[in-house]
Amino acid sequence: MIHDLKPYPAYTDSGVAWLGELPEHWEVTRLKDAAVVQTGLTLGKSYQGEATESRPYLRVANVQHGRLDLSEVKCLDVPPREAAGSTLRAGDVLMTEGGDIDKLGRGCVWRGEIPGCLHQNHVFAVRCRPRSLVPQFLALLMVSRHGRAYFELTAKQTTNLASTNSTTLRAFPVLLPPLAEQAAIVHFLGHMDRRIRRYIRSKQRLIALLHEQRQAIIHRAVTRGLDPNVRLKPSGVEWLGDVPEHWEVVPLRRVTVARCDGPFGSSLKSSHYTEQGIRVVRLQNIGHGEFRNSDAVFVSSAHYASLGDHSVEAGDVLIAGLGDERHPAGRACIAPTSITPAMVKADCFRFRLDPGRVNSEFVALHLTATAVAASAILSTGATRQRTNLQSTAARAVCIPPLHEQDPIVASIYNDMALLNVAVSGAQSEISLLREYRTRLISDVVTGKLDVREAAARLPDEAQDPEPLDDGDVLAADDGGSTEAAYPDATLEGAEA
């Protein structure tokens, strides 16, 4: 289908520098002539002496990248006169006023999910004129290279954020194919979007399965060893189960030479961070058996000297004292040579082990493999898992003879290398699929490709029964209800 798409028969100059030519039957106008931009409710106003009613309202946090997060919708007492100008209608295109420059202007279509819902003044509601503009087409136009170019040129930018305003938004150059053609474009891109998302979801599921396999391989190797016929004995520890009978089950402190945690309280705050100096190991650096070298922060040598001994040397075992369901407390990794000199921060523990008894890499893998089960019993946090240095030092580990530990570690790393290649390949395919979708949307909504005949051949499709995750399956936050960004439009829906 994609290979059959061709340009339009005839083009004319758009009059917009970055757009170039458009199909000759398309028009260009300003958003203010094709839609009404509603600025929303100003929070913090006093309504003393006026009758009010409690109404739900959307904040910037609710309008995600092309989606709605309705897991936490707050309510506000407002007079009816204030609510009247900020009430959302089905078909409104929602946009945030500020944020990252690459997300600015990315809209989603409100379907009336919460009756009578309002929006605050940092969330624009663009109400399309029914005989000019299909809402879903506008939402697609905003994420195209045309929309990106406009907001990059006009947005007010600071170091980390960008913002627009209603005046700039109203001046946005809107491309206007005939209404029926807008609906056809939305229908075609909705069809392609669902196909691409299904491919992405299948790759994400593959990645999840590969990570499950990784965890299973590590867990078996560090709790049973490499001999499938080894005789087992009860470990006496709930989360360890049976272990090889010649292995030793001991508290972690029994194989530890020195240990420490990070400084607590006001002795180390973000205001103490510098651009260079002593590296600070934080929770986000302690991965599942591997050190994550991103988000590097430092403190000066002088401030480090005032804190006491929280030092980290290459080969030390670093253990997370705080965690959640995806990143359990008790996970561990090895400090690489590249980060020293370094120190641990609060809720991070440093264990320096006895090299005559253990391979530190084996212990880090063992702690990570058993972290979920161990933290469920040892942690004390009500909402987040938390362990302290003492309970971590008392945590049971099963230790094979030293001559067995090196082959176990080598076997794990060999298996991990093969799995990492497969994961990397799947992630690359996901990136290519997303790039392809972005390019396809831009080419279609700016008139570079004619999809009218292709759209006419497509069947009507129901929405996917489950949300399609467009984020990284390992980092994505699945909190709350989401809706597809660009549901199919029909001319009837546009006229409603």
Q: Report the amino acid identity of residue 417.
A: A
| pLDDT tens-digit map of 151-166 | 888 888 876 678 888 9
Q: Is the pLDDT of residue 457 over 50?
A: yes
Banded pLDDT at 382 (limits 50, 70, 90) = low
Residue 396 to residue 240: CA distance in whole angstroms = 8
Distance set, CA 389 to CA 159, 203, 359 (Å):
39, 39, 21
CA 482 to chain CA mean position, Å: 14
| pLDDT higher than threshold 60 for residue 487 | no
Whether the pLDDT of residue 6 is over 60: the answer is yes
pLDDT value, residue 96: 87
Mean of per-residue pLDDT scores for the chain: 87
- Sorted by where each starts, the structural domains of the chain and their CATH numbers stand as 2-200+428-495 (3.90.220.20), 229-399 (3.90.220.20)
> Of 418, 480, 446, 436, nearest to 217 (Cα)?
418
pLDDT, mean of residues 237-250? 93
What pLDDT does residue 155 have?
A: 84
Residue 104 pLDDT greater than 80, yes or no = no
Kindly give the pairing relationship between strand 317-320 and strand 298-299: unpaired
pLDDT of 474 above 50: no
Residue 159, pLDDT score: 66
pLDDT of residue 493 exceeding 60: no
320 in Cβ contact with 348 (< 8 Å): yes
Residue 51 pLDDT grade (very low, low, confident, very high; cuts 50, 70, 90): confident
The token pair that represents 265 in the structure block: 């309280």
- From residue 410, give the alpha-carbon distance in Å to each of 225, 249, 333, 363, 416: 12, 22, 16, 13, 10
Q: Per-residue pLDDT tens for 280-294?
A: 999 999 999 999 998
Per-residue pLDDT at 475: 23
**319-360 tens-digit pLDDT:** 999 988 788 999 999 999 999 999 999 999 999 999 999 999
Q: Please state, in angstroms and rounded to a whole number, the distance separating the CA atoms of residues 354 and 1.
A: 64
Tokens of 158: 């600071």
pLDDT for position 106? 73
At 89, the pLDDT band (50, 70, 90 cuts) reads very high
The lowest-confidence range among 40-54, 57-71, 205-219, 373-387 is: 373-387
Q: Is the CA virtual torsion 99, 481, 380, 344 positive or negative?
A: negative
Give every CB contact of residue 292 below 8 A, 6+ residues apart in sequence.
Answer: 284, 285, 286
pLDDT in tens, 393-444: 999 999 999 999 999 999 999 999 999 999 999 999 999 999 999 999 999 9
113 near 68, Cβ under 8 Å? yes
State which amino acid sits at residue 70. Answer: L
